[in-house]
Chain A
Amino acid sequence: MLLVSEQCVGCSQCSFVCKKEAIEVEGKAKILHDLCNECKRCIMYCPLDAIKVVDR
């Protein structure tokens, strides 16, 4: 599962590259876990390393 840390500033870069429309951003990114397939593309594009993979 992906979690967004406190470091997120809300720049939206992750949501632009997500092919599943699984990220909503308004001030801070929020992952819609039902849609996310854990491709990890968003993690690479985050300038702040704010998205982390955690075990369920």
Chain B
Amino acid sequence: MRAGVIGSGIGGLLAAGFLAEKGYKVEIFEKLPFVGGRFTNIEYKGFQLTTGALHMLPHGNRGPLAMALRELGIDVEIVDSTPVATAQYGGEIFEVVTGRFPIASILKFNWEILRHKLFNVERSLADVSEKLDPFSKAFTRAFCGWSLSVLPEDIPFPKMKRIYDSIRKYRGPGIPIGGCKSIIDGLMDYLESNEVIISTKNPVKGIEIRNKVARAIFVKGEKKEFDLIISDIGHPETAELTGDESYINKVSDLQSSGGIKISVSVKEPVLGHTGVMFTLDTKRIAGVNEVTQADPELAPSGRHLVMTHQPLVTKNIKYEIRLGLKDLKKIIGHRNYEIIAIQSYRERWPVNRVMAGHDIGNNTPFENLYVVGDGAKGDGIEVEGIAMGVKKVIDEL
């Protein structure tokens, strides 16, 4: 059986790995000159910056991605974050533990979960968090901004409940030694030793559909036939490649979520730990990490790499960046810092191809054409959801 994979993001590479393991003859097509999509390193001024991600696996060593890599025998060293998170709130910094949340708010949250189960009331997370104490409310906002790049107003409450369950199950984040790229390198070694063919600078121009079956891929004037096609570029772009009007219309409403990441160099640590610091006193920035606490090689010696993340609130990017830079000053305080890069993400190079809670799954109207990656990752967070989606597709074959 021959499988063609469109896009070499982490979703495409992971799917290719499992297909090769199942005995498929796999070929991957990538448009850019490098593999890894939004989950790989890009060196700049001696810092290992990234094309997207914040060098973090949402569930560390216990999560679905780490489990999938181990299943393929790919060895990546991941440092689980300790503490998982701190919060900067009211000018103070403290560890986020259950005891920090007032019991009344925890009870209210659980009551809302029960109410949802019993009566299936449809509400956004904001409707629920509105009823909580100021700390819990601000924390909810920062958590959504950091891990989903959305505002509580935009996320259905039941979705949050499922994320909450998966955090309880898999626990907090981790940082791969070497950053995102070490995972991509591990996958590439596996693919190469399993004879998977990968071409870069080779965009797919179309997918041929005949009698409701995806038959072939068009690249550089060539037509390549496949029994199975996996797309890592989200539903709307996949639909465009098929040219199928009803598929295009069906997915035209899907919205991506945007965000801004600021990479900062400091001498004096800002966090001093390998977890996340949620920032609750800010206008836009939701959280910060300091990946050099886990792997000092991600920055030149004597420097720390601090990365902030903020969801996009308005469409005015320059304004959003300005608010982010103001927040940054507040977070960093008296320390000297240098901004290494400001990167913004939206539309067709977003934080998430589908906004959390609005996912339509991996299937397409064509039974041998699937979408993987963050354009179809179900209820999981970021690359963990991507790994879960890939496994689901593989199990279905």
Contact = CB atoms under 8 A, between A and B. Distances in A.
A48 B51 CA distance: 13
Given A10-B344, A11-B344, A16-B49, A28 B317 contact: yes
Contacts of B258: 9
A26 B51 CA distance: 16
B201 interface: yes
Contacts of A9: 258, 344-349
A10 B343 contact: yes
Interface in B26-78: 31-34, 42-44, 49, 51-52
Interface residues of B, number: 25
Given A16-B42, A27-B317, A45 B348 contact: no
B33 A45 contact: yes
Given A16-B49, A27-B321, A44-B201, A11 B343 contact: yes
Interface residues of A, number: 17
Contacts of A16: 42-44, 49, 341
Interface string B320-333: 11000000000000
Contact of B51 (A11, A25, A27, A28): A11
Chain A binding surface, main DSSP class: loop
A12 B321 CA distance: 14
Interface string A7-35: 10111110111000000011110000000
Most buried by B among A13, A28, A48: A13
A25 B343 CA distance: 8
Contacts of A44: 32-33, 201
Interface of B: 31-34, 42-44, 49, 51-52, 201, 258, 317-318, 320-321, 341-349
Given A27-B320, A45-B32, 11 more contacts: A10-B342, A12-B343, A13-B42, A13-B51, A25-B342, A26-B342, A27-B318, A27-B342, A27-B344, A44-B201, A47-B348
5 contacts: A7-B348, A10-B344, A11-B344, A16-B49, A48-B349
